[in-house]
Amino acid sequence: MTIDGQQDLEGLRRAGRVAARCLARMGEMVEPGMTTLELDRIGREYMESRGAQSAPELSYDFPAATCISVNEEVAHGIAGERRIEAGDLVHIDVSLELDGYFGDTGAAFPVPPVSAERRRMISATRRALRAAMQQTRHGRRLRGIGRAIEDAATKAGFGLIRNLGSHGIGRSLHEEPKFVPGFDDPSEERFLHDGLVLTIEPFLTNGREQALTAKDGWTLLNEPGTTTVQFEHTIVVTRKKPLVMTLP
């Protein structure tokens, strides 16, 4: 989507704010012993109380309100009877629709005790997100997003999930550009333009660089014992710094 005036900007900001507050609420409630289904219900209740709908349910008939991925689950985890345990890394991805606009955000929530390497990976992923967002300016190459993410990952000694990336968003959950590489892709020749709405979502890993689909047809997996960390914002490209829509 490319925004067309203040109405679009405010609509995106409202949707993004609800998504961000839903994510924060769910993150606050993560604790050992609870099931991922219980955590998902917290997210569903928050969305519905604000008049929002789950975007993955609305768009793809996803079997939960949010995506909750634990440990070796890279993304698109389905909430269920899995219990969160001490030492787990819980990824929560909240995407929703509100009044015709979509917001998409996500974060990793470590459950103590947290290993030193996992702390390093979380910090590196946050840096990668900030660096990539600084590349989202009118007239710059789309390739700069992936280059910034890869530079941050390489400096920290981590790899990247290469079959997941950022995407356009706005009036639907996934819009053009449908796939924005989260790595430096020399074949990427597209340019960013003023008003373009995108997610930015780096996936850093210490496992293999291709996530595999589980038997449930949704959950994306890495090798057992590995860690993948993702953080995500929805932004609007401008001629200066990007406008972040998913702030609480």
pLDDT tens-digit readout, 34-56: 999 999 999 999 999 999 999 99
Report pLDDT for 206.
96
Mean pLDDT of 11-19: 98
Nearest CA among 7, 43, 10 for reference residue 26:
43
- The pLDDT confidence band at residue 100, using thresholds 50, 70 and 90, is very high
CB atoms within 10 A of CB 175: 17
CATH numeric code, 6-244: 3.90.230.10
Question: Could you give the CA distance from residue 202 to residue 220 in angstroms, rounded to a whole number?
Answer: 15
Would you kindly state where each structural domain of the chain is located, as residue ranges? 6-244
Across 65-72, average pLDDT: 97
* Mean local confidence (pLDDT), 11-16: 98
pLDDT category, 30, cuts 50, 70, 90? very high
pLDDT at 123: 98
The confidence band for 4, taking pLDDT boundaries of 50, 70 and 90, is very high
CA distance 44 to 158: 34
Task: Provide the pLDDT for residue 184.
Answer: 97
Confidence of residue 84 (pLDDT cuts 50, 70, 90): very high
Asked if 77 contacts 63 with a C-beta cutoff of 8 angstroms, the reply is no
- Report how far residue 124's alpha carbon sits from residue 130's, in angstroms, rounded to the nearest whole number: 10
- Label residue 224 by pLDDT band (50, 70, 90): very high
| Phi/psi of residue 246, nearest 5 degrees | -100, 60
Enter the pTM of the model.
0.96
Mean pLDDT confidence for 156-164: 97
Say what the pLDDT of residue 200 is: 98
